[in-house]
Structure 1
Amino acid sequence: MERNLSLIALFAALIAALAMMPQIHLPMGVPITAQSLGIMLCGTVLGPKRGALAVGLYMLVAAMGLPILAGGRGGLAPFVGPSAGFIWGWPVAAMVTGWIMGRWRGGVGLTAFCASVIGCILVLYPFGIVGLWLLAPQSTALPTIALSMAVFLPGDLLKAVLAAGITQTLARARPQSLLSRN
């Protein structure tokens, strides 16, 4: 129990640390950040339940006002702004990523890559697209917003490769620490 709580807190802190990395600002109001790498790792390493709990803890601490979201933001405003769809989709993305990691029994690296792409791109993007469409001041047609998500794809694919590499390295060094496979 204590180990689970420690890992959940550690991975919430990892997401916060990745949020502090420089971001790329886009005119649509949703920045390109490294946070999604943390979401991917929550799923690939911790599994569905612990991964979603780590993301939920991170969101709770951010909602309480700690400036741990990208750009040093905190409080409730980011949860209703242009990037809110992505924020609300993070626990689901981590859960799906972890679920896939636990079910597929292929090589760890390939499975982690596929799980990250499915969970943190195919599942997360619809949350982000709908959130942007509903909450962005310059809301345009849904297909236009969906097409604009293409700017995120190369970076997210790179983050999926990094998550796969990190997960595979962790599995080789300490197989018992890969809770998504236990």
Structure 2
Amino acid sequence: MNNINKTKGMVLIAMFTALITAGAYIRIPVPVCSFTLQFLFTTLAGIILGKKKGAAATALYVILGLAGLPVFTGGGGIGYVLQPTFGYLVGFIAGSYITGAIAHSAKPDTKRILIGCFAGLAVVYAFGMLYYYIISAVYLHDPIGIGTLFLYCFVLAVPGDIALCLLSAILAKRLMPVIHVKGTV
């Protein structure tokens, strides 16, 4: 029975890595930071797989991209660490972990899942905006003002991500019993 659970875990990690990749290609161009569905799938990974496996699925996605596979919105390769938006990718890993940790801190009910989603969202934005600010100033020698950064990388993007938090919670509540997530059946 233990081998079946390990296999199921690996399959789910691979499946969410593929979903995150697909989410990178579904995007709405917004100046500075594009809006994609990556956040939806990294959040669902944390909720459905839990903190460790959710973060593992997201980390695998980032590793594949850094290894050169074109899984990121703008391609792939180690040079992607110098892209201003790379911080969001790092934030996705931490966000998946935080979302899963909060969602599974007790029986995953809708309130706990939503709190986890919004906490994960805050972590993603913290990593993403800080990295964007630093890389723009230090590496690109084209500093972006705090106001401009806040407008383009938060104000314009966060309404869509709030909607994705709500969608994640709805989808997770429906999918968790089907996938037989601990605490839901």
Q: What is the TM-score with the length of structure 2 in the denominator?
A: 0.85
Which residue identity is paired with 2:49? L
Instruction: Give 1:67's aligned residue.
Output: 70
Which residue identity is paired with 1:53? A
Distance in 2 (alpha carbons) for counterparts of 1:43 and 1:180: 15
Alpha-carbon spacing, 1:27–1:106, altered in 2? closer, same or farther (3 Å): closer
Q: 1:98 touches 1:180 (CA, 8 Å); kept in 2?
A: no
Instruction: Give 1:122's aligned residue.
Output: 122
Q: 2:69 touches 2:76 (CA, 8 Å); kept in 1?
A: yes
2:169 matches 1:167:
no
Distance in 2 (alpha carbons) for counterparts of 1:47 and 1:106: 10
Q: What is the TM-score with the length of structure 1 in the denominator?
A: 0.87
Q: 2:108 touches 2:184 (CA, 8 Å); kept in 1?
A: no
Asked which structure has the greater RCO (Cα within 8 Å, sep 6+), the reply is 1
Match of 1:57 among 49, 55, 60: 60
Deviation readout 1:8-40 (Å, 9 max, x if unpaired) = 11110110111121x222332x21111110110
1:125-164 paired onto structure 2 within 5 Å: 125-136=125-136, 137=140, 138-142=142-146, 144-148=148-152, 149-164=154-169
Distance in 2 (alpha carbons) for counterparts of 1:8 and 1:50: 6
Instruction: Give 1:100's aligned residue.
Output: 102
Distance in 2 (alpha carbons) for counterparts of 1:155 and 1:54: 23
Which residue identity is paired with 1:102? H
Unaligned stretches of 5+ residues in structure 1: none
Distance in 1 (alpha carbons) for counterparts of 2:80 and 2:160: 22
Larger Rg: 2
Q: Indicate the RMSD between aligned Cα atoms, in angstroms.
A: 2.0
Which residue identity is paired with 2:29? H
Q: 1:101 touches 1:181 (CA, 8 Å); kept in 2?
A: no
- The secondary structure found in structure 1 opposite 2:127 is helix
Q: 1:101 touches 1:111 (CA, 8 Å); kept in 2?
A: yes
Instruction: Give 1:112's aligned residue.
Output: 113
- Count the aligned residue pairs: 175
Distance in 1 (alpha carbons) for counterparts of 2:38 and 2:183: 20
Instruction: Give 2:83's aligned residue.
Output: 81
1:43-54 paired onto structure 2 within 5 Å: 43-54=46-57
Structure 1's consecutive aligned runs of 4 or more residues displaced over 3 angstroms after TM superposition are 141-144, 179-182
